[in-house]
Chains A and B, each alone.
Chain A
Amino acid sequence: MAAHLPRYLLRRVLQAVPLLLGVLVVNFFLIHLAPGDPIYLLAGDGGDEPYFAAMRQKYGLDKPLPVQLGLYLLGVVQGEFGYSFAYARPVFEVIAARLPPTLLLMGVSIVLSTVVGVWLGVVCARRPNSPVERSVLVATLLGYGCPAFWLGQLLVLLFAVRLGWFPVQGMVNARADYEGLARLSDIARHLALPVATLSVLHLALVTRLTRTGLREELGKDYVRTARAKGLPTPSVVNRHALRNALLPVVTVVGADIGTLFTGAVLTEIVFAWPGLGRLLYDATLSRDYPLLMGIFLLVGTSVILTNIVTDVAYAVLDPRVRYT
């Protein structure tokens, strides 16, 4: 299997190229479908005539569409993602500056919800039809139907306004200039409620999947064999059954990255978290089209890349599946 892996990886990457191209083409056609002269989308409406003329020249707006598409793709390959007119800087730079807070939020949330979700799933699978399982299942049902941004508002009302345990919004306390450890704990305090908000949906998903998968595995012959050998239950569950039950969880955690971005954007707006979400919101207000496109491209690319990582992880983890 291991010998197949590099070839499999290469094949998956090659398969991703047309998908990436597709996302770029969608991006390109959005620019041209939008009402008005596309020059305003590419260069903003604040420039003067010579500037517009130069931009028209650069993007080949006087040439036929296929040529323009070619020029656009060529630009992207060279790292040109357009110019944000609200920030008067290249889109790439603007996004890169705002990405770390979002990645922090998403990263902590994905780790936390996966760990807690697997644990809850195991608890449920080991006590079928118990009150514990029922309450967890009801909670996952509510987690599924809950709009993340509303949950965020409720958490603010309860834990920030009423109880005063956590700050209402932001990432750092603007009035204090913490250093070192104090700064870290300040960020952690600000992070708690947004992470809780963003984690709920994912937590529900992982819990459900682990429970279903584990229950299925626990009914199989190899588990009975392990039990008959006299292995203690925790060992049977954790070392044997859980490993197999977690395979679908890997897929879902990977496939869910788009949803996670969506949740992060909405959560950031509730908590004024200084990341991509806030940037996106401001871009819709200022109609900063190149910036919107850049964010769309970033999320699309992340989804495609995560899919590759997930598939390869699956191939490594599951020796039953042979990929050629």
Chain B
Amino acid sequence: MASALTQPFTTLPGEVGAPRRTPRWWNRFVRQPTAVVGLALLLAVAAVALLAPWLAPGDPLTGIGPPLQPPSPAHPLGTDDLGRDILSQLLHGARVSLLVGLATAVIATLVGIVVGGLAGFFGRWVDDALMRLTEFVLVLPRFFLAIIVTTFFGGSLLTIVLLLGLTFWPSTARLLRAQILSLREREFVVAARAVGAAEPAILTRQVLPNAMPPVLVNASLQVGGAILIEAGLSFLGLGDRSQVSWGYMLNSAQPFILIAWWMSLFPGLALLLTVVAVNLVADGLNDAWNPQLSDEAWR
């Protein structure tokens, strides 16, 4: 039991009796060790991405040492075939992965909210048309589409992010639509309607906020998915060649796999840790918002 002494003193003089409480989902989130580990890892990767130029011992794109050196005090993670420092590349590579992951999830979530919201709200032919479109985008093999488009136009980060964002939204749209359809019939929405609230206001004030948790969980899973697809594209040599990325590092590692294990091990480990961190956070958010539906996010 918390005594008055251990209770944080957060009540301002003006507020009567209602201390600002941390939201309940946050309390549930931090109670899960796995989620906290995931968040810590993710923040670490984000810090590395932001501070890469200051943290890295050298320029990631120019050779600063002898080629194909195993890890040594001078180059803690070794050097690649062009004498570039693996550690410097690794630190800079965090930028591409995080940027692509986050930007894709943001675009996909925004498009998905618009499509799913319109479909769920208007129903009838709008719903039909938008759901047909959703089904269609869902069957498009996005990785193969991305291969064609990047071969045609070159794989700038913008192209890749747009392409992924515009193919990742169907799951968001479907989730939100299903949420809206079920929430519309709930008592609190019916009550709002009964007291004369306008439909658009009901949608934005009552339905959407309650429909958001699964959408946001889905968005965090999309971050991981997009990071892996970008890595796959870069592994094929179709990514943005002006940036260091972990996928591209694995692409350069492939021909030297028999003689330079360090070229392959570290970038893959970085990818693995980042995606696992993102998925742990997604899992944690899911459990925090909806304890009964744990594991739902993995379907």
Contacts and interface: CB of A to CB of B under 8 A. Distances in A.
A19 B132 CA distance: 9
Contacts of B279: 141, 144-145
Interface string A15-37: 00011001100100010011100
A191 B132 CA distance: 40
Contact of A150 (B132, B268, B276, B298): B268
Given A30-B152, A147-B250, A296 B136 contact: no
Interface in B83-131: none
Contact of A153 (B152, B253, B275): B253
Given A157-B264, A296-B145, A269 B254 contact: yes
Contact of A284 (B147, B232, B264, B275): B147
Contacts of B274: 145
Nearest to B274: A145
B236 A284 contact: yes
A312 interface: no
A90 B275 CA distance: 41
Contact of A280 (B147, B280, B299): B147
B116 to A, nearest CB: 19
Interface in B258-295: 258, 261, 264-265, 267-268, 271-276, 278-280, 295
A262 B230 CA distance: 12
A211 to B, nearest CB: 8
A303 B136 CA distance: 11
Contact of A26 (B140, B152, B298): B140
A145 B144 contact: no
A293 B298 contact: no
Interface string A126-157: 00000000000000011011110111011011
A149 B250 contact: yes
A300 B137 CA distance: 11
A292 B299 contact: no
B151 interface: yes
A151 B227 CA distance: 16
Interface of A: 18-19, 22-23, 26, 30, 33-35, 141-142, 144-147, 149-151, 153-154, 156-157, 161, 168, 205, 208-209, 211-212, 248, 252, 258, 261-262, 265-266, 269-270, 280-281, 284-285, 287, 289, 292-293, 295-296, 299-300, 303-304, 307
Nearest to A293: B148
Given A212-B298, A266-B235, A154 B141 contact: no
Nearest to B136: A22
Contacts of B295: 208, 211-212
A281 B237 CA distance: 9
A248 B141 CA distance: 22
Contacts, number: 140
B231 A147 contact: yes
A147 B253 CA distance: 14
B146 to A, nearest CB: 10
Given A141-B279, A147-B231, A153 B298 contact: no
Contacts of B238: 284
B139 A307 contact: yes
B149 interface: yes
Nearest to A266: B232
Interface residues of B, number: 48
Given A261-B144, A262-B232, A287-B151, A252 B135 contact: no
Nearest 8 interchain pairs by C-beta: A150-B268, A145-B275, A145-B276, A262-B143, A299-B141, A212-B295, A34-B152, A153-B264
Given A141-B279, A208-B295, 6 more contacts: A141-B276, A154-B264, A157-B261, A280-B144, A285-B237, A295-B144
B141 A303 contact: yes
Contacts of B276: 141-142, 144-145
23 contacts: A19-B135, A34-B153, A142-B272, A146-B272, A147-B228, A147-B235, A150-B264, A151-B268, A153-B254, A157-B265, A161-B258, A168-B258, A258-B139, A269-B254, A280-B144, A284-B151, A284-B236, A284-B237, A285-B237, A295-B144, A296-B145, A296-B148, A304-B139
A243 B149 CA distance: 43
Contacts of A18: 132, 136
B272 A292 contact: no
B224 interface: yes
Contact of A281 (B236, B250, B261, B264): B236
Given A19-B135, A144-B275, A145-B275, A150 B144 contact: no
